[in-house]
Amino acid sequence: MAPRSKSVVLCADVGRTLSDDQVQEVLRIARAILLNLVLYGGKNDSVSLVLFGATETRNALHEEMVADGQEDQYVDIVVLQDLTVVDSDVLRVLSSEEGGRWSGGRSDHLDVLTVAYDILCKDSVKAKSSKIVMVSDFKGEIKALDENFVGEVVRGIKEKECELELVTLSPITPHSLHPDETKSLVLHLRETVASLDCASDVEDYASLRGMKTTNPATTKHSFSIGSLEIPVNVYKKVRKDTMSANLRVSNYYKDEKGQVRPLKRETEYAKKDDPSDEVVTGKVQAFPYGKDLIPVDDSARNYLTHHEDKSFRLVGFHERGEFPRHLFLGEASVVLGEAKNPGSQQAVSALARALEEEDQVGVVRCVARSNSDPYLGALLPCVSQEKDIPDHLVLCMLPFAEDIREYQFASLNAAEKWIPSEEELNLAEDIIREMSLVDDKREDGGAIERVVPHELANPKILNMNEFIAEKLSGVSSSHMHGSTKANYLRVLSGPSERILARAGPSLAKLAQMADATRTTTAKKEEKVKKEEVEMKKEI
């Protein structure tokens, strides 16, 4: 089966309603989308680049209208690149100099959408799926809407099963300060055929568009409750992602002429006490026990290996309060009813709701794969309030006795000097309120949370992506990379200046009252005395 191909038309606004900084922000978002396609897209995917609000006009629809004597249609829209297979060349096309050179015109958003749709209709690749992405501030005036024409455009997008995504720099609501016609068009598209994202809702939207999105890898289990067998799917909801291992090791080298040649690597084993003797070919696995090594042959290794079939079996139920979160091990998994199996989904939903009402937790014995180690897990209920999210269970691994590490802390009530006063407690409460990460900043009066897990990209992976992009395209992206770093410094490098200014007086007062000082001086003096003793011994 041939891989599914996808055609994407990316439309970026560089019109006169945007400031220079906003134009650069639009181009950063567009470039991040392109970079995502280059690094993580399919090999048969294709992309087209369109700038609107430009000072020139260059598109097929305008040329057709000029031939018919209508020169004022689809103006200030430039097709920088026709639909072509995604490669590193697309990163060179949309450099900041290229985008800034075209900025300053005025375009109709509906005209841009029509041009993008026309590009997809003339797609010679005939991709399996298609998508239009439009990035704009949506503050430019447009012509009076023709309901019939808008209906035809929406109907055509639906018939082609084209995905339409609108990205705005500021929130668009019925009461926002956008032109009425433009606002009506955007809201109508959102209700009928499009999705709408607001870049200002997150700290650095462009970085999020450069992330790699992966589908969860599910495993199928038969959930056994006595004689009842429920087919379920289990997958890891949260899993730490890292850069590809292919970026760390290379099997090639450059010779004196600069030619890239394959590298061959061989390993030889010699005796430790006599390295010059013959090479050792037969090796034995051994278990270290103190200074001794206990050899383990194949028969012993088979005996020590735990042989067990894959299983997912309920042991019983227990009160939820007996399972503190800090005793959970590893990564959590989500347990869902089998897809396209209503009976399985109803059984999981009934169990989740019953556990929630009874404030209980299910205890299961799980063997993830055949011959893997068994473990006990806690099934926590998660009752969904959303229509498109089913009720499910969260599986957390429980520790064995050897896994628990206890540390005895002294009670704060053991001495009066450790008990905070009422004034200190009030100051601590003030600091918590003043350092809140929820910011009432949106134009529509909504609140923005500054640290949301699914809205923060990994800066280490972003740095590597930018490095690869520069090597592939040969175009420096230091200005865009600098903007990304500046945004992340505000989030990941401690409290912002605004938060510190708000909580500064309370922090200073609490520090003065609590007299909290670091105890490093004693360690330094102890180290100096130890060095003096050693010097005296040498003398």
For the segment 247-291, what is each residue's pLDDT rounded down to a tens digit?
A: 555 677 788 887 888 888 888 888 888 888 878 888 888 888 888
Token duo for residue 397: 């691994």
Rounded Cα distance between 446 and 444, Å, is: 6
Token duo for residue 55: 């000072």
Rounded Cα distance between 390 and 336, Å, is: 8
Q: Which residues pair with 98 in a beta bridge?
A: none
**How far separated are the first and last CA of the chain, in Å rounded?**
81
The domain ranges of the chain are: 1-211+426-518
Rounded Cα distance between 354 and 351, Å, is: 5
SS3 142: coil
Q: Is there a contact between 103 and 52 (Cβ–Cβ < 8 Å)?
A: no
Token duo for residue 291: 């200074």
Q: Which residues pair with 301 in a beta bridge?
A: none
Rounded Cα distance between 493 and 105, Å, is: 39
Q: What is the pLDDT of residue 445?
A: 58
Rounded Cα distance between 526 and 518, Å, is: 16
Q: At what angle do helices 422-434 and 497-514 cross, to 10 degrees?
A: 170
pLDDT per residue as tens, the chain (539 positions): 445 788 999 999 998 899 888 998 898 899 889 988 988 888 889 999 999 999 889 999 999 988 888 888 899 999 988 888 888 888 877 765 555 567 778 888 999 999 999 999 887 667 788 999 999 999 988 888 888 999 999 999 999 889 999 999 999 988 888 999 999 999 999 999 999 999 988 778 888 888 877 777 788 999 999 999 999 999 988 877 776 655 555 677 788 887 888 888 888 888 888 888 878 888 888 888 888 888 888 888 877 777 788 999 999 999 999 998 888 988 889 999 998 899 999 999 999 999 999 999 999 999 988 888 899 999 999 998 887 789 999 999 999 988 888 877 777 776 777 788 888 889 999 999 888 877 666 555 566 666 777 777 877 788 788 888 888 777 776 655 665 666 665 666 677 777 888 888 998 888 887 766 655 555 555 655 666 656 555 55
Stated as kind and residue range, the H or E segment containing 234 is: strand 228-236
Q: What is the pLDDT of residue 319?
A: 94
Q: 66, 56, 63, 74: which is closest to 113 by C-alpha?
A: 74
Q: 473, 456, 459, 460: which is closest to 38 by C-alpha?
A: 473
Indicate the burial class of 469 (C-beta count within 10 angstroms; 0-12, 13-18, 19 or more). Answer: buried
What DSSP letter does each residue of 256-312 carry, written as one string?
TTS-EEE------B--SS-TTSPPB-----EEEETTEEEE--HHHHHHHS-----EE
Q: Is there a contact between 378 and 361 (Cβ–Cβ < 8 Å)?
A: yes
CA atoms lying within 13 Å on the CB side of residue 448: 18
Fill in the amino acid letter for 203. E
Q: What is the pLDDT of residue 534?
A: 60
Give this prediction's pTM. 0.74
Going by DSSP bridges, is the β-strand pair 292-295/286-289 parallel, antiparallel, or unpaired? antiparallel
- Tokens 């394959």, residue? 262
Fold of domain 1-211+426-518: Rossmann fold (3.40.50)
Q: What is the pLDDT of residue 5?
A: 84
Condensed to tens digits (0 to 9), the pLDDT of residues 117-145 reads 999 988 766 778 899 999 999 998 888 88
